[in-house]
Structure 1
Amino acid sequence: MPEADFQRIQREFAAHIRDPARQPAPADVAPRRMATYRELFFNNIENFIATGFPVLQSILAGERWTALVEDFYARHRCQTPLFVEIAQEFLAYLGAERGPRPDDPPFMPELAHYEWVELALAVAEAEVPPLAPEFETNPLAHTLRLSELAWPLAYGYPVHLIGPDHQPTEPPARPTCLVVYRDAEDAVRFTEVNPATYRLLTLLEENGPTPAVDCLTRLAEELRHPDPAAVLAFGAEILRDLGRRGVVGTVDA
């Protein structure tokens, strides 16, 4: 079926809005009006992305930031009509479409992921899991589950420390292990954890609800710790702290 005039105008209009440097404007739309549309559409998208990635924006402030958003706007085809998911679309663009560029900070993909996690947890439809009343007294007597609002994460760069005044050019020798979570007051927080605690949380993430003793025993085996009882004792203190934060809950609450 031949393309109708209004369809051609819509296609040309959208193409120019997305990529004005490469796509000509429709011939029958006034240039001043076209410029107004272009500015309004772009500013809307830029505002959503800046809100989701404020640290990255502060680092790339100015022409570098504008060029990054313009490239996303021109190249990426969003798979969702929801404004709240534009940040996830931007993350997909960084990971699968943009590719490394000489002027990009080496930590940019990880920093963007970390900032997206904070936004994703802020809008997630889930609740902090409850704790059994006796949990504080004896954490090892319970079956644990990881909160749906707690994500254990490992990064090459210390993403939680990066900002305009701290931009590492090389990752440190050891990865940065974090748990980012939403607490009972609906505040998104993070805490840096050691590799053993990170592994404890990923065991719960991988296996689902698990008796605390079984989880810590598995951890001691993986660490080849000479004193498994010490791992249980130390693990009990770690679990108390994670329970207070809302990172873990119990299935018998």
Structure 2
Amino acid sequence: MDSKTPTEYSARLREIAGRLRQLEGSAPPGMTADIFTLYREMFRASFAASLVDAFPESCRHLSPEIWEALVDNFLAGGECPNPSFHAVPDAFFRFVIQHFADDPPLPDYLPALLHWEWLTLTLAIAPNDIEECCAADLEQLPMQLANTARLQHYPFAVHLAVEPPQTPSQRDCYLLVYRHRDGAVFSRELELPEARLAAALANTARTATDAHALAFPAGEYAVAWARKRLQEWCAAGILQTTTPNSCPPPASPSPP
């Protein structure tokens, strides 16, 4: 076999893929226009369907023309080195945010909504091989948010589904987005004191007492109140026992 054949084959695949991503791409040499058009339509339909599955609410709040334009722009100018289940939505999310001002007029809540849906998908498939905590661990072991939990602030209530033409209400929302022990991903809206307590455990492992002291240095809330919240979060699989030197959960990009 010619040693150049694999390289030439890879180049051929890249050429075909590049043409498939262009809305009006012409057929590559050796392929008829009809066959190429069929391939392109099948590829684009499958690709678009995968993004609708990943971002159903964002798609629902945009007109079909604007959503299709976003997908077309991403196919033409975006990069996705890994065609895996999660890599494509991840690349699409980052592309739309990066080019937000360049795309068709988009609602101001869209970045937050896209981020929330992206985060929900990310946590649904995130590995979690670290031991979850139980109520008995609250004082004995340091703990922090699990690999499958994130504390996020959004300027819109993107977690509350509304029917178009209604839009997510604009207000500060502190969400604890997490994968429950049963595998489902939930978004729990927190009051500001609860958000302060969760923030104390977001990046550093601490005992319940230390987390309370950091969140409420003036003693605004009792230790018993904090312990009760932490017990609830332990039961839901939101916290994991760890050591003070453990790595924090991977950071997620903040919504614009």
Match of 2:23 in 1: 20
TM-score by length of 2: 0.80
Structure 1 residues 132 and 243: CA distance shift in structure 2, 3 A? closer
Q: Hey, what's the Cα distance between the residues in 1 that align with 2:23 and 2:102?
A: 24
Q: Hey, what's the Cα distance between the residues in 2 that align with 1:46 and 1:147?
A: 32
Q: Hey, what's the Cα distance between the residues in 2 that align with 1:203 and 1:111?
A: 25
Match of 1:154 in 2: 153
What is the Cα deviation at residue 36 of structure 1? 0.4
Which of 20, 34, 37 is the equivalent residue of 1:35? 37
Match of 2:71 in 1: 69
Match of 1:177 in 2: 174
Which of 195, 209, 226 is the equivalent residue of 1:235? 226
RMSD over aligned CA atoms reads 2.9
Match of 2:212 in 1: 216
8 Å contact from structure 1 (residues 56, 108) kept in 2: yes
8 Å contact from structure 1 (residues 141, 213) kept in 2: no
One-letter amino acid of the structure 2 residue matched with residue 20 of structure 1 = L
One-letter amino acid of the structure 1 residue matched with residue 72 of structure 2 = E
8 Å contact from structure 2 (residues 70, 96) kept in 1: no
Q: Hey, what's the Cα distance between the residues in 2 that align with 1:145 and 1:20?
A: 47
Match of 1:195 in 2: 192
One-letter amino acid of the structure 2 residue matched with residue 219 of structure 1 = A
8 Å contact from structure 2 (residues 66, 104) kept in 1: no
Q: Hey, what's the Cα distance between the residues in 1 that align with 2:37 and 2:128?
A: 42
SS of 1:64's equivalent in the other structure is: helix
What is the Cα deviation at residue 153 of structure 1? 0.7
8 Å contact from structure 1 (residues 124, 149) kept in 2: yes
Structure 1 residues 74 and 233: CA distance shift in structure 2, 3 A? same
Q: How does 1:53-202 map to 2 (within 5 A)?
A: 53-99=55-101, 101=103, 103-127=105-129, 129-132=131-134, 134=136, 139-140=138-139, 142-165=141-164, 166-168=166-168, 171-172=170-171, 175-202=172-199
| Residues 192-235 of structure 1: CA deviation (Å, up to 9, x unaligned) | 0012222222221222x2111111011112xxx3xx17431221
8 Å contact from structure 2 (residues 179, 186) kept in 1: yes
Unaligned runs of 5+ in 1: none
What is the Cα deviation at residue 84 of structure 1? 2.8
One-letter amino acid of the structure 1 residue matched with residue 214 of structure 2 = R
Q: Hey, what's the Cα distance between the residues in 2 that align with 1:179 and 1:47?
A: 28
Between 1:95-104 and 1:175-184, the stretch displaced more is: 95-104
SS of 2:170's equivalent in the other structure is: coil
Between the aligned residues of both structures, percent identity stands at 25
Q: Hey, what's the Cα distance between the residues in 2 that align with 1:13 and 1:64?
A: 26
Structure with higher helix content: 1
Structure 1 residues 163 and 89: CA distance shift in structure 2, 3 A? farther
What is the Cα deviation at residue 250 of structure 1? 3.6
Q: Hey, what's the Cα distance between the residues in 2 that align with 1:38 and 1:79?
A: 19
SS of 2:174's equivalent in the other structure is: strand
Match of 2:248 in 1: none
One-letter amino acid of the structure 2 residue matched with residue 243 of structure 1 = C
SS of 1:159's equivalent in the other structure is: coil
SS of 1:160's equivalent in the other structure is: coil
Unaligned runs of 5+ in 2: 1-6, 244-256
Q: Hey, what's the Cα distance between the residues in 1 that align with 2:48 and 2:193?
A: 40
8 Å contact from structure 1 (residues 128, 184) kept in 2: no
One-letter amino acid of the structure 2 residue matched with residue 64 of structure 1 = I
The count of corresponding residues between Structure 1 and Structure 2 is 237
Q: Hey, what's the Cα distance between the residues in 1 that align with 2:151 and 2:68?
A: 32
Larger radius of gyration: 1
8 Å contact from structure 1 (residues 153, 179) kept in 2: yes
Structure 1 residues 181 and 129: CA distance shift in structure 2, 3 A? farther
Q: Hey, what's the Cα distance between the residues in 2 that align with 1:81 and 1:7?
A: 16
